[in-house]
Chains A and B, each alone.
Chain A
Amino acid sequence: MNRTLLIAIREFKAVVFTKGFVLGILLTPVMVLVGVLAVKLIPEAPEMKVKVALIDQSGAASDFARKRFGSEGAQAEAERVAAEMTKQIDQATGEMGLKGPAVDAAKSQVQSSAAMITGGAKSIALEVLDAGANVDELKNQVKNAQVGFGAPQLMAVVVVPKEAVSGPLVDGKWAEHQLFIHPKLDFQIASIINRRMGDAIVDARITSDPRFSGAQLSPEVVRATFARPDPTPQALGREGDKPSMGAVQMIVPFAMMILLMLSVMTGGQYLMTALVEEKSNRVMEVLLSAVSPMQLMTGKIIGMMCVALLILTIYGGAGIAGLIVANLVDLIETSKLIWLAIFFFCAFFTIASMMAAVGAAVNDIREAQTFLTPVMLTVMLPWLMVMPISRAPNSTFATVLSFVPVMNPFVSVIRLGGSEPVPNWQLAVSAVIGVLTALVTAWIAAKIFRIGVLMYGKPPNFTTLIRWVRIA
């Protein structure tokens, strides 16, 4: 059997047929899922029993405040929030063309969230005090409150000045109420108090203004009048009108970029660590007595390329399967997948060559860090620019970046997934640049590799590497 191939097969087996690899490949998505779920499971409103004192100097807001803080008001609030969220879910799922049990599950989640808000509301007790109550004394009481889960403590004081309801307006604005809170009061409870008081004050303004009450305009009508319309944009497509993709559009460029980076970097990393290990446990010379350094390097790179391809296929396949399930498969086109494959090879050979050179040059992993930083930077840079590139894939910025060696495969992949089609000639130029970059990097890497694999002792620096390239 061809020796390069023999080496490639061993390298592939040595990586893939390990518990570490199998678990790593399977566990990564599982952990992401767990992470997402964990965030969802954190309760939104903590169950802290809180007492709020209200000093209503306007005399008009306290009745509305009682209503807002009472169980009826909280119920109404919960329903309103639930309705708002359900609408958002409908909108988002409609955009994606989603339906079925997942959507129903999301809706029921919203109901329970709303119920939690109602529950939270019950734990906030409002106490209306005289307009002339001593504010400073109350503030002291709040300051000295013992935070705990026992009897409700006075945790906040709200002062509504007369001007907040009856004006006059200063610089076109109403005066605002004041909210003093205990430093440990949960920010969500503080914002609920603020929101309810704000609503109560607006209700008070509308009802106490004769222009509204005279025209028999209730606060509900007035509020509805001022609500800004927010229809869902309808994208015009060949297959008839359908809701715009919106944020979903970002999924594909992100996913393609992540896939490319994940597979290339994982393969590269394995290659480098394997080389460093072989060098440090001196298997290298045994191998070099049988094969040439070039065969060794080529074999290793091909082996690791298969590892990277495997990762790409597993995750990419899972992603496509997910899109099919979600009825979103028309987000990706076959031509894009072909381009992805082309850019994968460019990126992989470039990065793998660099990793091979680094792995061969250093004595241990720590020394490798110095050389890895620039490699990582060139890979990370396009990652930081995913947003601007994918939103305007044909901007001069994106176009020029897609011609810059080393990072061009990554940039091109983001452009491919972007909102506008990219001219084929530009992709072709980028691919040619990618191939040339890969060839040049491999050529340089081979030189460093040949000398580096048998060099032990003083850790090399960049000058040493350049010297090796020259003499090899």
Chain B
Amino acid sequence: MTEAAIRIDGVRKTFGPKVAVDGLSLVVPRGSLCGFIGPNGAGKTTTIRMIMSIIFPDTGSIQVLGKGSALESKDRIGYLPEERGLYKKMKVGAFLAYVAQLKGINASEASRRAASWLQRVELGGVINKRCEELSKGMQQKVQFIAAVLHEPELIILDEVFSGLDPMNRRLMRDLIDEQHRAGRTVIFSTHAMFEAEQLCDQIFMIHQGRKMLDGPLTDVLEQFDTRSLVVETQSDEGVQQLRNVEGVAEVITGTDRGADKRAVQVLLSEGENAQRVLARIASTVSVKRIEVRRVSLEEVFLEVVRRSGGGEVDERLLAGFAVSSGEGGES
């Protein structure tokens, strides 16, 4: 499965004077689970729509599942658009069956699959309800089912986590993971960095229409390793003592929230080994907790935006994420 599921080559798309996507090249390996991130207005939805052949690039080429365009393999692709909606007056079961039929599944099989999928996402009772009677989260799940009902090889999900509560986010994550494990290629765009970090093996980031990050998640995170420790001291004096430890370049305080009041970020000097400094701190300062800090995708995201001159990001915000990444609290 080394063949690319999607190959984008030098694609550019403008809307009037606005350049939405500029010289974008990407390869999505088959069977991978890719996160597609970027700030609002970065060009994610435009890129996805071009992949789907809903709109067409001005220049460059896009290959999908080995074909010249998604039009030739529409039935092998599942798509959850960002701008999502259902026929308000249509019954949920009928809607799903209709969409599946449009994807080439025969009527009886489409109804059967719709029913079993609704059961799986705990929506068995709504099959005969009108779509407008569902809550936003329920609608989201129905949309997801519509995208995967025909068992596509490639699943493209645009902003799949928006509007979901934590429980449903987790359910969605499990569903996506399950599709991935079944050997399908999944691409999802999101602003939910935690979910992206949890799920993806590949990550792409675009900003202002240009590619900023591309590659396996672990590589990307390593690239942005800030080389620092997180230390929670027993007392306030401990923080002072930290500054005197050999190999410590800087101690950043006030980056914590809530329970981690005394946690600080310790930046290492150039060329220092994290393990050695960790040992020194442990022997000189009385600490509650000490760990090598792992950079989070969220920090990477903010850092990339900051470096490329995205003026909207507040520096304090960046510092604020130093210790308190991973709000979800699980791993």
Binding site for B on A (CB under 8 A): 1, 3, 6-7, 10, 14, 18, 277-278, 281-292, 454, 456
- Digitize B37-74: 1 where CB-to-A-CB distance is under 8 Å, 0 elsewhere: 00000000000010010110000000000000001001
B114 at the interface (CB under 8 A from A): no
Closest to B78 in A: A289
Q: Which B residues between 83 and 101 are near A, CB-CB below 8 angstroms? A: 83-90, 98-99, 101
A/B interface sample: 6 pairs, CB < 8 A = A1-B101, A278-B85, A282-B81, A285-B79, A286-B146, A290-B74
Instruction: Please give, as numbers and ranges, the residues of chain A lying within 8 Å of B49 by CB-CB distance.
Output: 285, 454
Given contacts A14-B90, A289-B74, contact A6 B101 (CB under 8 A): yes
A10 to B97, CA, bound (A): 11
Does B77 sit at the interface, judged by CB under 8 A? Answer: yes
Give the chain B neighbours of A285 by CB distance below 8 A: 49, 54, 79, 81, 83-84
Residues of chain A within 8 A (CB-CB) of B99 are 286, 290
* Number of residues from B at the complex interface, CB < 8 A: 27
Q: How far is the CB of A451 from chain B (nearest CB, A)?
A: 9
B102 interface contact, C-beta 8 A: yes
Neighbouring A residues of B75 by C-beta, 8 Å: 290
A277: chain B residues within 8 A (beta carbon):
88
A54→B107 CA distance, assembly (Å):
88
One of B81, B85, B88, B101 near A289 (C-beta < 8 A)? B81
Chain B residues whose CB sits within 8 angstroms of the CB of A292 once the complex forms: 71
Task: Contact check, A289 vs B79: say whether CB atoms are below 8 A apart.
Answer: yes
**B90 and A281 within 8 A (CB):** no
When distances are taken between beta carbons in the complex, the residues of chain B under 8 Å from A456 are 83
Partner of A281, one of B86, B102, B106, B146: B86
The residue from B52, B54, B79, B84 contacting A282, defined by CB atoms under 8 A apart = B84
- Ranked 8 nearest A-B pairs via Cβ: A282-B85, A285-B81, A281-B85, A289-B79, A290-B102, A282-B83, A283-B85, A288-B54
Q: Which residues of B contact A7 (CB under 8 A)?
A: 102
Count, A-B residue pairs, CB within 8 A? 62
In the complex, A274 Cα to B9 Cα: how many Å?
Answer: 37
Bound: A14/B94 CA distance, A: 12
Are the CB atoms of B54 and A283 closer together than 8 Å? no
Most buried by A among B89, B101, B106: B101
In contact, A286 and B89 (Cβ under 8 angstroms): no
Say yes or no: is B103 at the interface (Cβ < 8 Å to chain A): yes
Complex Cα spacing A282 to B140, Å: 13
Across-interface contacts of B81 in A (CB, < 8 A): 282, 285-286, 289
A454 touches B54 (CB 8 A): yes
B86–A283 CB distance below 8 A = yes
CB distance from B8 to the nearest CB of A (A): 18
Which residue among B52, B77, B102, B106 has the maximum number of chain A CB atoms within 10 Å of its CB? Answer: B102
Across-interface contacts of A14 in B (CB, < 8 A): 87, 89-90
Q: Cα distance A285–B46 when bound, in Å?
A: 13
- B83, B89, B107, B146 interface centre (most CB from chain A within 10 Å): B83
Interface residues of B (CB under 8 A from A): 49, 52, 54-55, 71, 74-75, 77, 79, 81, 83-90, 98-99, 101-103, 106-107, 143, 146
Q: Which residues of A contact B90 (CB under 8 A)?
A: 14
Neighbouring A residues of B86 by C-beta, 8 Å? 281, 283
CB atoms of A289 and B54 under 8 A apart:
yes
* Of B85, B107, B143, the contact of A1 (CB 8 Å cutoff): B107
Which of B79, B106, B107 has the largest number of chain A CB atoms within 10 A?
B79
Q: A6-B98, A10-B98 are in contact. Are A286 and B79 (CB under 8 A)?
A: yes
- Residues A289 and B52 in contact, CB atoms below 8 Å apart: yes
Q: Quick check: B102 and A291 within 8 Å, CB to CB?
A: yes
Chain B neighbourhood of A1, CB < 8 A: 101, 106-107
Instruction: Indicate if the CB atoms of A454 and B102 lie closer than 8 Å.
Output: no
Report Cα–Cα, A278/B83, bound state, in Å. Answer: 11
Query: How far apart sit A278 and B86, CA to CA, in the bound complex (Å)?
Result: 8
A283, A291, A456: most-surrounded residue (chain B CB, <10 A)? A283
CB distance from A50 to the nearest CB of B (A): 60
Minimum C-beta distance from A441 to chain B (A): 24
A396 CB, min distance to chain B CBs, angstroms = 49
The answer to whether B71 touches A6 (Cβ under 8 A) is: no
Give the distance to chain A from B236, nearest Cβ to Cβ, in Å.
Answer: 54
Set of chain A residues within 8 Å of B54, measured between Cβ atoms: 285, 288-289, 454
A454 and B55 contact, Cβ closer than 8 Å, known pairs A1-B107, A10-B98: yes
Q: In the complex, A285 Cα to B83 Cα: how many Å?
A: 8
Residues of chain A within 8 A of B101, CB atoms compared = 1, 6
6 additional contacts (CB under 8 A) given A289-B52, A289-B81: A281-B88, A283-B87, A286-B79, A290-B103, A292-B71, A454-B49
Please, which residue of chain A has its CB at the minimum distance from the CB of B84?
Answer: A282
Bound: A309/B49 CA distance, A = 37
- Residues on B with C-beta less than 8 A from A287 are 102
Residues of chain B lying within 8 A (CB to CB) of residue A290? 74-75, 99, 102-103
Q: Considering the chains assembled together, what is the distance between the CA atoms of A49 and B74 in angstroms?
A: 82
Residues in B neighbouring A10, C-beta threshold 8 A: 98
A18 vs B130: C-alpha distance when bound (angstroms) = 13
